[in-house]
Amino acid sequence: MTGPSADAVLHRRTPELGPVVDAHAHLGPYSLFFIPDNGAEGMIRVMDRCGVTRTVLSSHLAIQLDARAGNAMTAEAVGRYPDRLSGYLVVNPWQDPVAELEHWAGDPRFAGIKVHPSLHDYRITGLRYRPVWEYAAATGSPVLTHTTTHHHCDDPGLLEEVAREHPDVTFLAGHTGLTRDGFDDAIEVARRTPNVVLELCGSFMHGDEITRMVDAVGSRQVVFGSDMPFIDQRMSLGRVLFADLSEADRAAVLGGTMTRLLAGRHQR
């Protein structure tokens, strides 16, 4: 199925999409390989070309080596582009989660929380994450977590355990399990657990899978994400534009659902 948005892409025009929110992006250099044009300015240029309204991001430094310094990098970038960027507050379970949450509590530059259990080698069900879930419940902050099917730290089934224990927290299942069989696992978790939302970025994602996810759980449980600058935002957006969705569902996936989740955030 195509429509006005897809036609605009085919004719190399910036599509008029309404509010579009990229729910999963990163900022800055990455230690394992070179990523060109990884700063906020480059992201804004791509967003302008794509018609993306807002991108929610975390810094690579925060998820890899130094949560405090990386979160400061995120805050600085969001402060320069507050109308276009929002931040995820990264919490590393090995780097004093309570202190990190307290340090940034109430800072409007952070719209949600980011955890990466497999990168930090700590199970999402572990006690060190409990302050994160409590903070998220108290502030209405959505939590984006990496998910990798069959991984001992962030398999979708482990996320289901946490989501059931904390039904007042919304969890974004980053990459929807990551692999093709992971999509199956994550869809079933989202079916059973309404506070789990499927996030679409990843190298294995394509339009047919997006259609299947929306058919399975509805567009209120599916959000667009790109993983920019790992994955080009233009390519990630195109998957949704050309997926076989109703225009109402496409609008919800592209921005409506994430806008609603961000609007639910409040101060403690």
pLDDT of residue 93: 98
CA distance 123 to 129: 9
pLDDT in tens, 134-164: 999 999 999 999 999 999 999 999 999 999 9
**pLDDT score of 36:** 85
Tokens representing residue 180 in the block:
């093709």
Q: Where residue 15 falls among pLDDT bands split at 50, 70, 90?
A: low
pLDDT over 70 (residue 229):
yes
Average the pLDDT over 206-213 and give the result.
96
SS (H, E, C) 122-153: CCCCCHHHHHHHHHHHHHCCCEEEECCCCCCC
* Residue 3: pLDDT band with limits 50, 70, 90: low
CB 253 within 8 A of CB 247: no
Q: What is the pLDDT of residues 47-94, one digit of tens each?
A: 999 999 999 999 999 999 999 999 999 999 999 999 999 999 999 999
User: 5: pLDDT confidence band, cut at 50, 70 and 90?
Assistant: low
Structure letter (DSSP) for residue 32? S
Kind and range of the H or E run holding 27: strand 21-27
Percent of the chain predicted with pLDDT > 90: 88
> Which residues are within 8 A (CB) of 228 and not within 5 positions of it... i.e. 6 or more apart?
22, 25, 26, 43, 46, 55, 57, 236
Confidence of residue 266 (pLDDT cuts 50, 70, 90): confident
Which residues have C-beta within 8 Å of that of residue 140, sequence separation ≥ 6? 264, 265, 266
Between 40-50 and 233-241, two packed helices, what is the crossing angle to 10 degrees? Answer: 30
Name the residue among 107, 114, 49, 43 with its Cα closest to residue 81. 43
Q: Which is more confidently placed, 225 or 10?
A: 225
What's CA 137's distance to the chain center, in Å?
Answer: 18
User: Confidence class of residue 32 from pLDDT cuts 50, 70 and 90?
Assistant: confident
pTM as predicted: 0.93
User: In sequence order, which residues have a C-beta less than 8 Å from that of residue 86 and are 6 or more positions away?
Assistant: 54, 55, 56, 57, 78, 109, 110, 111, 112, 262
How big is the chain by its Cα radius of gyration, in Å? 17
Is a pLDDT exceeding 90 seen at residue 9?
no
Give the pLDDT band of residue 14 (cuts 50, 70, 90).
Answer: low
Q: Which fold has domain 4-263?
A: TIM Barrel (3.20.20)
Going from N- to C-terminal start, the domains of the chain cover 4-263
CA gap 191, 215 in Å, rounded: 11
